[in-house]
Amino acid sequence: MRIRRLNHSVYQIQYHLVWGTKYRRKFLKHYVRKELIRSLYQIQRKYPDWYFHKINTGEDHVHLLIEIPPKYSISKVVQVLKSVTSAHILKKFKFIRHIYRNNIANNKSGVWSVGYFVSTVGLNEEQIKKYIDNQNKYDLGFDISSEFS
């Protein structure tokens, strides 16, 4: 992990973020994943001090290893990430709008579930990177349990 510097602070903070699709719907196929990642990097242009170390998905959840300065609360970061990516995905894919048509019609939130998981990254940074890298391997039947011993 690199040490980052701002005018009045020096920090080394990484978060492992995970959130799922609403109702655990499995729509994060490779072409949706590509647009999700594009949307995340568009967010990074607006917030250049946010740095994505790793991005990966399963078919129904997203994993990020992100570094943000201490001036942002993690809840604000998650709010921005989920709202912007949800709007982008809904705009881009008609079949996803169809899946969530009742929620959209009733002005309920978009494609992501309400909650999220977050943990800070410390000495186990490499282990978390491997875990995120291997997310899609669960669906392919690989046993990666040895990485966690």
Which positions are annotated as active-site residues?
131
Q: Where are the beta strands (DSSP E) in 91-131?
A: 117-120
3-state class percentages of the chain: helix first, strand second, coil last, to nearest 5:
45, 20, 35
**Is 15 within 8 Å of 119 (Cβ atoms)?**
yes
The span from the CA of 55 to the CA of 36, in Å, is 10
Q: Which of 70, 66, 82, 80 is nearest to 16 (CA)?
A: 66
> Quick check: 21 and 61 in contact, CB under 8 A?
yes
